[in-house]
Each structure stands twice: as C-alpha cells, then as structure tokens.
Amino acid sequence: MGRPGFHCITFGCQMNVNDSQWVERALTARGFEPRPMEEADVILVNTCSVREKPEQKVHSTLGRISLANPSAVVGVAGCVAQQLGGELARRHPQVRLIAGSDGIASVPDAFVRLLEEPELRLSFLDFTDSFPDRDPCLTPGSAQPETPVAFVNIMQGCDNFCAYCIVPYTRGPRKSRSAASVLEECRAWVARGAGDITLLGQNVNAFGRDRYGDGTSFPDLLRMLAGIPGLRRIRFVSAHPRDLSEETISLFAELPQLCPRLHLPLQSGSTSMLQKMGRGYTMERYLSVVQALRQARPDIALSTDLIVGFPSETEQEFQDTLAAVDSCGFMSSFSFCYSDRPGTRASGMPFKIPRDIQLERLSRLQTLQNERTEAWLRSRVGLETDVLLESPSHKQDGANLWQGRDPWGDPVNVLLPDGQGRPGQFVDVRVRLAKKHSLMAVPR
Ligand code: SF4
C-alpha cells in the first residue's frame, strides 16, 4: 500500500495559512504525501470567521468535497469549527474531526487515528491553559518545501473584544508562547535557509503581558531574535496602536534587522468611531505613534486595515478616514464593509449603514488608496536596495525573472542571467520601473 495522501483547504489570515502549513509538515513527517483533493485520504478545511459569509463558505466547501471525494476523512479546524462545533458533523456526516483554534496541534495525530479506526469521531474544542506549543517539524529529514520566508506564531487569542470582532470568542484569551520556544523555531527556520521571519499574533505588542508569558517582553524578544546569526529581516503582525510601546518604536532605530515596514491597523480615522469600535485609542494617539515611528525610522512605510460603514458612521466620519489615509501616507490598506458577527457588541448596535452606502464609501476609499499605492511604488524608482529572492517566475530572453521582496515588503521582479539566483539569496538591486502592484529591478 502506498503512502496516505492529504489535502488542506485554507481560508483567512496568515495565522491560518501558517497553521495549515504546519499541519502539512506534521502529516508529511508522519508518512503522508500531498495529493489533489479528489485523491486525498484525509482533507483538512481550515476556516476563518473574520470576513463575510464564513459559514456558507465552509458548508459549500464541505458539499464540494462530498461530491469529489466521498470516502476521504474530513476535518474542520479554526474559527468556524470553534463556533459551530458538533453541528458541522451533524450536517456533514463525512466530517469526523473538529478542531478549534487551540486544537490544531492535535490534528495530525487525530488523522492517523481516524484512518485506523473507521467508526471514530474526534473533537478538540476546549481552549487550552497555555500556548498550544507544537513541534515545528523542521528537524533535518522531515520533508518540507524550502522557503526563504517564514512565519512564526508567538501568541494565540486576544482579550481586546473590539466591538466588531469575533476573534476573542473563537481564538480564546491571549496566551503568549515562551521566548525559548519562539527562538528555537526561528533558529530552525534560519538553519533551513529563511532570511526573513514574520512574528504572528493577534496583538503581538502585548506579547508576554499575560499570565502565560515567561516574563520576556516583546522588545526583549525582538532583541533576542536580532541576535540570531543569518536572520537579516524581522517583521511582526498585527501591531495594536494602543499597545505599541515607546521601547518597541525605538527598536526601529536600533535594530537594522527590523524591516522599515509596519502594518498598524487603524480601522477608522474618526475618534468617535474608534470609541464605538472599542479600539482603545484616539486618532490623536494614532497620529502621535505614526510621528514617533517616522522619527525613529524616517523611511518606514505603513499599511493598515480599515472598516467602512460601521454602525452609525456618518459621511463626515467616513471623510475622516479618507483624510487619515492622506495624513498617514499608507502605502497599502485592507479595507472592508462592516458586517455583523454573531455575539459581538456591534451586532446589537442600532443605525446599521445600508449596503449601497457602504459599498459606495468602500469604492471611494479604495480608489484613493490605489492612487496612494501607485504613488508609493513610483517613489521607489531609482532606489538602491536588496531583494530576497523567493522563486523564479519565467524565462525572458535567456534570463530568468525572479520574484522577491524588498525590506518594505514590496513585490519586486529581478531579471538575472540564466544559472544565477536561488531561493533565499539576497541580491543588491536598483529599481528601474514601477508597475501597478510591483516593481522591476536590475542587479547592481
Ligand atoms: S485587537 Fe480587536 S480586532 Fe484585533 S483580534 Fe483583538 S478583538 Fe479582534
């Protein structure tokens, strides 16, 4: 008999992508191999409920699987699994594994058991008492794709309860990972060729400030990481504007490894909206953080998240968001129309904004942001910088066009002579051309 096959379907944020990639490595280490959905023995659907219509998406995906591969063992993990629990297995009998946010660590062994015991069903929905640590499966010999860019979870959950957000209910209370465990995983990634590591968590600036932390603060953790030989770029996401300390801001001046790019979710440019959202800061505070960041690192680029049409948002309050895009000079932003999430405070708020007004505001916001993003990319032309090569995209006139990223996270294409370039290599370049969403560069 051949090796069993797995297939993962992932919705949502980088944390979910990271979780799914870990499940893939852990299954590979247990003798599984990747297969198309139709041929897999086990299928994981890793879900997200932050954006719109998450439940419908999961139900339609499970319907698709039951038609394409009715004999596979199916597991559902992540936020929607946490929310719906056993209802998923009742509606879709093929689902034999349900794992909430803290249950992901149990998924690989659970699939092994489920293949051996056809009558078994398993459910891991309890929140754990500490960060659900797991073997990163990066030890020599465990097959996994080479990647120059790595993502490392440093915490799980959130205690902020922003009025619109479901994460504290689906991912549970904030739990920090131990600094030793974070460092060990980062060293393992660097030994595997990663030169660019992004630390992940719902609110990384609060790292260590919960009863599960080991006393290491977030700035301490950044300093420790900067001491890893070979790690040239460090990033982190998401940063909460309220919790971004002066000490962390000063590290942008102190640590050359800390990339000059920060994703700092604003959500609204109106202080009255921010108060209703329960964000814990004013527009004034946000602007003072931006100013301090620019003082520490004048070339820093900022990106953000924005919500339009939050309950009771007036045209003037929306205009404040447009003004904030200008005054903060965001290089990019993710923007969404507000929609209710079950059980959140905002879902019970009056004065919901009609969908057509939300969409019209979103369109104005995205038009403005697209102009700012294009202007940002044009401002890069002529710049000398370095690019971390990720993968070759295609051949062009006997040369290879490589895809990579600069320290600001911009996608950069670099033309290198045939035979030159490898994933994980840093190449010094000069930017020659700005396209709509990326840059073109040549080696220096
Ligand atoms: S900080 Fe607010 S928006 Fe972010 S995960 Fe926590 S509750 Fe959600």
Residue among 202, 277, 334, 344 to mutate when testing ligand 1 (max atoms within 8 A of CB): 202
Q: Determine contact, residues 190/228, Cβ cutoff 8 Å.
A: yes
Q: Which of 53, 30, 38 is closest to 7 using CA atoms?
A: 38
Question: Of 81-85, 394-398, 401-405, 439-443, which range is least confident?
Answer: 394-398
Band of residue 145 on the pLDDT scale cut at 50, 70, 90: low
Query: Quick one: pLDDT at residue 179?
Result: 95
Taken as a whole, the chain contains a residue count of 444
pLDDT exceeds cutoff 60 at 331: yes
Alpha helices in 329-412 (DSSP H): 355-379
* Both structure tokens of 229: 């030989």
* Nearest protein CA to atom 4 of ligand 1, as residue: 202
Residue among 50, 79, 155, 160 to mutate when testing ligand 1 (max atoms within 8 A of CB): 160
* Nearest protein CA to atom 8 of ligand 1, as residue: 165
Query: Which atom of ligand 1 has the smallest separation from the CA of 166?
Result: 8
Question: Whole-model pTM?
Answer: 0.90
Query: Quick one: pLDDT at residue 153?
Result: 93
Give me ligand 1 centre to Cα 162, in Å.
6
Query: Which atom of ligand 1 has the smallest separation from the CA of 158?
Result: 6
What is the CB < 6 Å shell around ligand 1?
A: 158, 160-162, 165, 167-168, 202-203, 240
Give me ligand 1 centre to Cα 268, in Å.
14
pLDDT tens by residue, 266-281: 999 999 999 999 999 9
Query: In the block, which residue shows the tokens 């059980």?
Result: 343
Query: Quick one: pLDDT at residue 392?
Result: 84
Give me ligand 1 centre to Cα 333, in Å.
17
Query: Which atom of ligand 1 has the smallest separation from the CA of 240?
Result: 1
Query: Quick one: pLDDT at residue 138?
Result: 78
Taking the C-alpha atoms of residue 428 and residue 85, their distance in angstroms, rounded to an integer, is: 50
Give me ligand 1 centre to Cα 255, in Å.
27
Write the DSSP symbol of residue 371. H
Sign of the CA dihedral running 167, 169, 174, 175: negative
pLDDT exceeds cutoff 70 at 142: no
Q: Which helix (H) or strand (E) holds 29?
A: helix 14-29
Q: Determine contact, residues 317/267, Cβ cutoff 8 Å.
A: no
C-alpha Rg value of the chain to the nearest Å: 22
Is the omega angle on the peptide bond into residue 238 within 30 degrees of 0, that is, cis?
yes
Alpha helices in 160-312 (DSSP H): 167-170, 179-191, 218-226, 246-254, 271-277, 283-296
pLDDT tens by residue, 351-382: 999 999 999 999 999 999 999 999 999 999 99
pLDDT exceeds cutoff 90 at 170: no
Band of residue 52 on the pLDDT scale cut at 50, 70, 90: low
Query: Quick one: pLDDT at residue 322?
Result: 98
Band of residue 126 on the pLDDT scale cut at 50, 70, 90: confident
Give me ligand 1 centre to Cα 160, in Å.
6
13 vs 204, which has greater pLDDT? 204
Band of residue 224 on the pLDDT scale cut at 50, 70, 90: very high
Taking the C-alpha atoms of residue 18 and residue 10, their distance in angstroms, rounded to an integer, is: 10
Query: Quick one: pLDDT at residue 213?
Result: 83
The overall average pLDDT reported for the chain is 92
Query: In the block, which residue shows the tokens 């504290």?
Result: 168
Give me ligand 1 centre to Cα 127, in Å.
18
Give me ligand 1 centre to Cα 10, in Å.
21
Query: Quick one: pLDDT at residue 418?
Result: 82
Give me ligand 1 centre to Cα 341, in Å.
13
* Nearest protein CA to atom 1 of ligand 1, as residue: 160
* Both structure tokens of 356: 């057509």
Residue among 162, 268, 276, 341 to mutate when testing ligand 1 (max atoms within 8 A of CB): 162
Over range 437-442, report the average pLDDT: 94
Residue among 156, 167, 277, 286 to mutate when testing ligand 1 (max atoms within 8 A of CB): 167
Question: Of 79-83, 118-122, 131-135, 183-187, which range is least confident?
Answer: 131-135
Cα separation values, 102 from 77, 90, 170, 174, 252, Å: 9, 22, 10, 11, 32
Query: Quick one: pLDDT at residue 144?
Result: 52
Over range 153-177, report the average pLDDT: 91
Give me ligand 1 centre to Cα 157, in Å.
9
Give me ligand 1 centre to Cα 50, in Å.
10
Three-state DSSP class for residue 379:
helix
